[in-house]
């Protein structure tokens, strides 16, 4: 299991914007990604604050960052902005993302819906399999449990609502 991504912590907005996948192009991108020799399963998560590629590979080594750069026809390297996570670290990351713990505003709920949409798109494209199916179902269960058993969503849940709350206290 491999996750390669870029997010609000690793890259500025202008870099993140260049690697966003248009929703209508994701199925084709998934099919192209699945043609890479070591890739057995794939899901692409692409939002305004993150683009992540979740893959199961037969060899463990695949240059997903290079593929991402080629796919978006970027002239300059984005390698310095990417994170690479394998196996247990990839699972932990998926759970944190689904639960809103890896968001710009901790606890924002939109990412869970975006993950579900990305997973559904990959299922429809035929690029998921037993490993990613299990990962995403577990991540959705963990996110639900975090939401029901903690107070994670009790405060501001978006950048806009956090800005409004800050403005109220300042002015």
Please name the residues in contact with 165: beta carbons below 8 A apart, sequence gap of 6 or more: 156
Is residue 161 pLDDT above 80, yes or no? no
Mean pLDDT (whole number) for 50-73:
88
Q: Between 166 and 89, where is the model more confident?
A: 89
Q: Between 88 and 170, where is the model more confident?
A: 88
In the set 9, 13, 28, 48, the catalytic residue is 48
Catalytic: 81?
Answer: no
Q: Between 146 and 64, where is the model more confident?
A: 64
Do 51 and 45 contact (CB within 8 A), yes or no? yes
């Amino acid at each position: 299991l491999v996750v390669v991504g870029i997010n609000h912590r690793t890259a500025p907005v202008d870099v993140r914007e260049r690697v966003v996948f248009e929703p209508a192009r994701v199925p084709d991108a998934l099919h192209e990604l699945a043609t890479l020799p070591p890739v057995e399963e794939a899901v692409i998560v692409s939002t305004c604050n993150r683009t992540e590629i979740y893959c199961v590979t037969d060899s463990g080594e695949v240059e997903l960052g290079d593929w991402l750069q080629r796919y978006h026809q970027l002239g300059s390297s984005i390698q310095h902005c990417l994170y690479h996570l394998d196996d247990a670290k990839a699972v932990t990351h998926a759970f944190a993302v689904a639960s809103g713990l890896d968001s710009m505003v901790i606890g924002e709920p939109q990412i869970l819906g975006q993950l579900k949409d990305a997973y559904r798109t990959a299922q429809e494209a035929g690029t998921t399999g037993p490993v990613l199916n299990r990962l995403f179902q577990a991540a959705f269960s963990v996110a639900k449990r975090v939401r029901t058993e903690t107070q994670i969503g009790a405060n501001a849940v978006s950048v806009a609502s956090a800005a409004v709350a800050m403005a109220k206290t300042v002015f």
